[in-house]
């Protein structure tokens, strides 16, 4: 199967308010929707939506990349001469991929900044703030992840931008939220996960707390924020008014406690602090389900699960241990959880009898949940990843020595619309002249702004 190759189209923000078909608010602000039949859409769902991205690092950029993947026009505002700090977050040996003149590019940055345009603006300069306000007047959404109070200091608070645009959706992501004793603290992913209890419940049962391999608090906050923005757009469609959205790494992480959190809130509360349900580490296991986890085969590992009694019986039949399925002690999930160690010990001995591929053949077509534990290369080269176009080749990428960049594709697909990369991850300030020109600035004015350090 041929991987999708990026095809670029140039999108320019005009200094005049465009008229776009679709949902109309009381102020007449619009973002495009389609009237085509399902399966025949020509535009992505958020085509025509304008997003001003004042965020950096991961949570905010991940949010705005999702919006961009869905068709929104995103302008990313970066600090002149430095840019988003993740432009310099290169992993070991990565420097050899990039041309020496493009020192402000990294795979970390490229992972969450496709389909955006980069403009450099100094927010500490009054003229820089004026430019941002001009962009906000033509935007549907503004996203930032500054510490609470910083946007107010810059003159770019929700109230400031609301004066420019009553329909603006203003989304803020921070470490701990806009109120409370931790509001002024910087937010970092692993620290938020630690304070929210997630590190405590992650890792091997006999080991210490473990950090996930990627920044889950940042990524989940980005996901939550993008969903809240879409909800706010629907509200604006009904009321004609914008709104302010607040989220944080800490709150996102707390919300992910789900069943473990509710057990702590509702069980054994009257037994004293020492006996509270403070959360346990189960490694690859599950606190509420047995079997659920990874087992060693002759040559690898296999992850399996049986989430109900029907699956449990089918699982035992496939494994050739029907007697275990007939044991009344294990006939309910409560019983299986109670006898976790005994069941897992029996299953481990059984799995050790065959290779990973032999067990994959046993479970094929069973309808049971199972799968191998892949490394990252095996995962990205998985036949299913190829079938779903989850790796996209970007050609003629200026910053790369070989002109090539591979990206992980969008997770969601819309029928009738190719989910390709429309705009390559931008070079620092790549679109500054274009964006300022769209606001009505002439070339000599832009040159003067550069000389004075505004852009």
Residues noted as catalytic: 218
**CB within 8 Å of 254: residues ≥ 6 apart:** 196, 197, 261
Handedness of CA 385, 386, 389, 393 (dihedral sign): positive
Residue in the block written with tokens 């964006």: 435
Query: Closest Cα to residue 264, out of 256, 275, 248?
Result: 275
DSSP, collapsed to helix, strand or coil, labels residue 455 as coil
Count other Cβ atoms within 10 Å, centred on residue 134: 17
Buried b (16+ CB within 10 A) or exposed e, 411-441: eeebeebebbbbbbbbbbbbbbbebbbbbeb
Burial class (CB in 10 A: 0-12, 13-18, 19+), 308: exposed
Element (H, E) at 132: helix 126-137
Query: Closest Cα to residue 428, out of 42, 117, 10?
Result: 117
**Can you name the residues that pair with 356 across neighbouring β-strands?**
none
Cα 221 to the center of its chain, rounded Å: 8
Query: Closest Cα to residue 218, out of 244, 187, 181, 255?
Result: 187
């Amino acid at each position: 199967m041929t991987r999708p190759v990026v095809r670029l189209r140039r999108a320019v923000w005009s200094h005049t308010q465009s008229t776009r078909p679709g949902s109309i608010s009381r102020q007449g602000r619009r973002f495009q929707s389609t009237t085509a039949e399902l399966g025949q859409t020509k535009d992505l769902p958020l085509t025509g939506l304008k997003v001003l991205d004042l965020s950096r690092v991961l949570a905010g950029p991940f949010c705005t990349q999702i919006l961009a993947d869905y068709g929104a026009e995103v302008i990313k505002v970066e600090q002149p001469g430095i840019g988003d700090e993740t432009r310099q977050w290169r992993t070991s040996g990565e420097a050899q991929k990039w041309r020496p003149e493009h020192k402000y590019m990294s795979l970390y940055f490229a992972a969450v900044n496709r389909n955006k345009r980069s403009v450099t603006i100094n927010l500490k300069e009054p003229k820089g703030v004026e430019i941002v306000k001009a962009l906000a007047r033509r935007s549907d959404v503004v996203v930032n992840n500054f510490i609470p109070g910083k946007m107010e200091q810059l003159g770019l608070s929700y109230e400031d931008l609301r004066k420019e645009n009553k329909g603006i959706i203003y989304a803020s992501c921070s470490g701990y939220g806009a109120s409370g004793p931790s509001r002024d603290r910087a937010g970092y992913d692993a620290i938020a996960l630690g304070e929210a209890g997630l590190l405590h419940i992650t890792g091997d049962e006999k080991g210490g707390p473990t950090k996930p391999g990627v920044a889950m608090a940042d990524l989940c906050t980005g996901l939550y924020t993008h969903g809240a923005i879409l909800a706010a757009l629907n509200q604006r469609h009904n009321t004609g008014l914008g709104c302010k959205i607040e989220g944080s790494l800490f709150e996102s992480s707390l919300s992910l406690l789900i069943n473990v959190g509710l057990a702590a809130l509702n069980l054994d509360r009257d037994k004293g602090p020492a006996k509270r349900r403070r959360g346990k580490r189960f490694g690859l296991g599950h606190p509420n389900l047995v079997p659920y986890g990874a087992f060693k085969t002759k040559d690898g590992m296999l992850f399996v699960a049986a989430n109900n009694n029907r699956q449990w019986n089918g699982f035992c039949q496939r494994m050739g241990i029907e007697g275990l399925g007939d044991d009344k002690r294990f006939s309910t999930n409560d019983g299986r959880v109670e006898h976790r160690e005994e069941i897992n010990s029996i299953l481990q001995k059984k799995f050790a009898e065959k290779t990973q591929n032999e067990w994959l053949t046993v479970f094929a077509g069973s309808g049971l949940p199972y799968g191998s534990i892949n490394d990252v290369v095996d995962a990205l080269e998985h036949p299913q990843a190829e079938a779903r176009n989850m790796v996209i080749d970007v050609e003629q990428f200026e910053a790369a020595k070989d002109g090539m960049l591979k990206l992980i594709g969008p997770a969601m697909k819309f029928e009738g619309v190719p989910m390709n990369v429309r705009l390559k991850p931008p070079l620092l300030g790549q679109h500054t002249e274009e964006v300022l020109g769209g606001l009505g600035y002439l070339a000599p004015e832009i040159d003067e702004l550069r000389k004075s350090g505004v852009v």
